Amino acid sequence: MNFSIIVATDLNNGIGKNGNLLYKSKNDMQYFKTVTTSVKNDKKQNAVIMGRLTWESIPTKYKPLPDRKNVIISDNNYNFLCERYKKDNSILIFKNLKLALEYLKKDDNIEDIFIIGGERLYRESLDNDYCQYIYQTIINDSSDADTFFPKIDSN
């Protein structure tokens, strides 16, 4: 199953600092929501795949991201996360991206899949043959980011 990446970066490909997004743009958040929730078939939904740190950076009032299947990848805290969220049917937890994609491929209710961060998951996703599109918003600014989206050939 093909998937896409969605990311907002600064001019130096920075995506975060101290576990948070670099920028809080209302327009970009609305774009993110529109892209990751839009489906052609009203009986389906999209999935968003994120690393544990990305999950933890989402404010509690927005968890899980509504109208999407939330998938968390965590090899370190897998058992803890499973125990904590096992009753929430809108959240799935896997030890790695490959297992998550294999599961979602079999789910007839999933239309599209989006990788939403963080840095390690973006790197792994770009090396995956099923990565189809990158939705990148570039903020016209430079920051002192400590996490980055991998440099890609714009061609």
The string of pLDDT tens digits covering residues 108-120 is: 999 999 999 999 9
Regarding pTM above 0.85, the answer is yes
What is the per-residue pLDDT across 20-60, written as a single tens digit (0 to 9) for each?
Answer: 888 888 999 999 999 999 999 999 999 999 999 999 899 98
- Of 24, 16, 82, the closest CA to residue 54 belongs to 16
Backbone φ/ψ region at 117: left (φ over 0), alpha (ψ -120 to 50), beta: left
Quote the CA–CA distance of 4 and 11 in Å, as a whole number: 21
Quote the CA–CA distance of 24 and 133 in Å, as a whole number: 23
Quote the CA–CA distance of 5 and 72 in Å, as a whole number: 15
Q: Place 105 in a pLDDT band, splitting at 50, 70 and 90.
A: very high
Distances (CA, A) of 35 to 3, 6, 8, 109, 145: 13, 9, 13, 17, 25
